[in-house]
């Protein structure tokens, strides 16, 4: 890979990016994210942690290091390892598909990409069987993945089939051109009909398996969720959520912050029984609207509610006086 904003030709290597800083002042990971939009901020942070980012001929291991005008930054991109994943003939609920992208209705219990404890049976394994040319699009373990859904969250998820589509779709999520709407049954009934939560989310300091409201100066990242009441169901409510950002567990964390945790959420609610068997938290990505990466036409995919969520809503309706 040869890429430079102002390179010295003799310095270039096949797997390095060289950038001469014209204007500094920001922390390293943010500055790199702004100047290298083809890489996610998480990927750049990982490269920093691995010692693959050098500032003025010295390795930098802190993503918070301030960038100064005149700095020379070198980013080394390690060679991509061969994709070691097995295609699996797992049925897919396809909402939209062409040669550039595919939008699926993900089932509850399905992990999006392989991770420790989930090496098989993931959405990626299923996609590799359905799309043989997918390996290498977007990373070793996440080919074509544009955004994620939690394991037990159902609904619409987009996957790119080409590098061009991947970059275009990722840019839409970053610039908020793509819109995502979710439905969730929550405990309680908000006094207002709608509102917005603007609270930063980060890793919970006391439990690394959880996310929480964490100030930005302590590592939290800005997270904005818009919500509105669709239907009041006695001591429960059906809410619609619109994401302005896409942090891990964002809706679940913000719903709990409001005092109305998602029903069936084993992490952020009391997980008390409501008499209806659920396959996961009662959270569903109902609608995904984005621009086609080639034709620029708008695509709107609507994922039908899973039967467990339909049953839950019907049961709660019958329980009302």
pLDDT tens digits, residue range 87-97? 899 999 999 99
Helix H or strand E segment including 230: strand 224-233
* Structural domain contains residue 129: yes
The pLDDT tens digits of the residues spanning 182-229 come to 999 999 999 999 999 999 998 887 776 789 998 887 778 899 999 999
For the chain, the C-alpha Rg in angstroms (whole number) is: 21
Residue 130 DSSP code = H
278 and 209 within one domain: yes
Q: CATH no. for residue 187?
A: 3.30.2350.10
- According to DSSP, the residues that pair with 6 across neighbouring strands are none
- Here the CATH number for the domain that contains residue 16 is 3.10.290.10
Q: Are residues 13 and 98 in the same domain?
A: no
Could you please report the per-residue DSSP string of 56-72? TTEE---TTPBP-TT-E
154 and 265 share one domain: no
**Residues 35, 70 within the same domain:** yes
Last residue of a domain, one of 48, 76, 104: 76
Q: How many domains does the chain have?
A: 3
* Pairing outcome for strands 72-76 and 53-55: antiparallel
User: Catalytic one among 29, 150, 152, 265?
Assistant: 150
Claim to verify: residue 222 and residue 297 sit in the same structural domain: yes
> Do 197 and 270 lie in a common domain?
yes
Q: Are residues 198 and 278 both part of a single domain?
A: yes
User: Are 208 and 304 part of one and the same domain?
Assistant: yes
pLDDT for 300 equals 97
Q: How far apart are CA 292 and CA 296, in angstroms?
A: 5
Would you say residue 152 lies in a domain? yes
Residue 320: band (very low, low, confident or very high) from pLDDT cuts 50, 70, 90: confident
Judgement on whether residues 264 and 244 belong to the same structural domain of the protein: yes
Among the candidates 167, 192, 217, a domain finishes at: 167
Please indicate, yes or no, whether residues 192 and 152 belong to a single structural domain of this protein. Answer: no
The dihedral built from the CA positions of residue 291, 240, 221 and 198, taken in this order, carries a sign that is positive
Mark whether 150 is an active-site residue: yes
Tokens linked to 231: 């239907």
Residue 141's pLDDT is what? 58
Q: Is residue 236 part of a domain?
A: yes
**Domain co-membership, 118 together with 210:** no
Q: Is the pLDDT of residue 2 over 60?
A: no
Identify whether 86 is part of a domain.
no
- Give me the chain's average pLDDT, please: 85
pLDDT confidence band for 4 (50 / 70 / 90): very low
Domain that holds residue 125: 94-167
Q: Which of 18, 41, 76 is the last residue of a domain?
A: 76
Q: Which of 43-52, 166-175, 177-186, 276-285 has the highest mean pLDDT?
A: 177-186
Distance CA 239, CA 228 (A): 6
Report yes or no on 83 lying in a domain.
no
Write the pLDDT tens digit of every residue in 198-207: 999 988 877 7
Cα separation, 126 vs 131, whole angstroms: 9
Identify whether 87 is part of a domain.
no
Decide if 172 is inside a domain: no
Distances from the Cα of 204 to the Cα of 131, 159, 208, 223, 258, angstroms: 37, 29, 6, 15, 17
pLDDT by residue (tens digit) across 137-152? 655 557 788 888 999 9
pLDDT per position as a tens digit, 23-54: 877 888 888 888 887 677 788 888 888 888 99
Q: What is the mean pLDDT of residues 275-287?
A: 90
Domain shared by 296 and 245, yes or no: yes
Region 58-85: what's the mean pLDDT?
78
């Amino acid at each position: 890979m040869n890429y430079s904003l102002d390179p010295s030709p003799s310095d270039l290597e096949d797997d390095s990016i060289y950038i001469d800083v014209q204007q500094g002042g920001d922390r390293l990971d943010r500055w790199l994210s702004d100047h290298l939009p083809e890489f996610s901020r998480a990927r750049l942070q990982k490269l920093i942690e691995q010692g693959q980012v050098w500032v003025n001929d010295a390795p930098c291991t802190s993503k918070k290091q301030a960038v100064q005008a005149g700095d020379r930054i070198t980013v080394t991109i390690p060679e991509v390892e061969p994709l070691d994943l097995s295609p699996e003939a797992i049925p897919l609920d396809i909402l939209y598909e062409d040669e550039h992208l595919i939008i699926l209705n993900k089932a509850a219990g399905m992990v999006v990409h392989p991770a420790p404890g989930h090496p098989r049976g993931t959405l990626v394994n299923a996609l590799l069987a359905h799309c043989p040319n997918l390996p290498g699009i977007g990373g070793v373990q996440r080919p074509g993945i544009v955004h994620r859904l939690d394991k037990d969250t159902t609904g619409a998820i987009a996957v790119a089939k080409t590098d061009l589509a991947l970059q275009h779709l990722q840019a839409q999520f970053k610039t908020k051109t793509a819109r995502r709407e979710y439905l969730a049954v929550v405990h309680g009934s908000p006094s207002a009909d709608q509102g917005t939560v603007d609270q930063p989310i980060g890793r919970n300091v006391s439990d690394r398996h959880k996310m929480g409201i964490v100030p930005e100066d302590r590592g939290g990242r800005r997270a904005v969720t818009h919500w509105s009441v669709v239907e009041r169901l006695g001591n429960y409510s059906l809410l619609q959520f619109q994401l302005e950002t896409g942090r891990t567990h964002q809706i679940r964390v913000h719903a709990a912050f409001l005092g109305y945790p998602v029903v069936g959420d084993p992490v952020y609610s009391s997980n008390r029984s409501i008499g209806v068997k659920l396959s996961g938290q009662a959270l569903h990505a109902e609608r995904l609207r984005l621009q086609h990466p080639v034709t620029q036409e708008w695509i709107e995919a609507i994922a039908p509610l899973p039967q467990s969520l339909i049953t839950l809503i019907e049961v709660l309706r019958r329980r009302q006086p």
